[in-house]
Each structure stands twice: as structure tokens, then as C-alpha cells.
Amino acid sequence: MFSTGQIIFGILFFISFTCIITYMYATDRKKQPDYFRGSYKILLGFLIAFMILLGMKFLTH
């Protein structure tokens, strides 16, 4: 389905993207803490929605 090079690129892209986003979030949170109050609730909601979609996929497949 995917070549070895595509899989390696995808993994490296995911790791680097996650690191950059985490670093930028941490620096922005230090500069403007009022904007990030309660942001964990959004992340939690996103993860719950993703798990529900994943569960529906496996139950209907």
C-alpha cells in the first residue's frame, strides 16, 4: 500500500510536527496564559470524538 520511504517520511513528519506544535504551544502559553485557560477540555473532547469514530469504524466493519 505504502512504500518504505513513504512510511518513514510519514513517521518523521508526524514526530517533527508534534514536537514543533508542542513547543509553540508552550511558548505561547507562557506569553498569554489567559488565552489558553481550559484548552485541555478541547483536546479531551477531540480525543473522545476520535475514539467514538474509531469505535464506530471497528463495530461496523
In this predicted model, what pLDDT tens digit does every residue of 5-59 receive, in sequence order? 999 999 999 999 999 999 998 999 899 888 888 888 998 999 999 999 999 999 9
Q: Which residue has the cell 471497528?
A: 58
Q: Which three cell numbers mark 46? A: 477531540
Long-range interactions of 52-57: CB distance < 8 A, separation 24+: none
Q: What is the pTM of this model?
A: 0.61
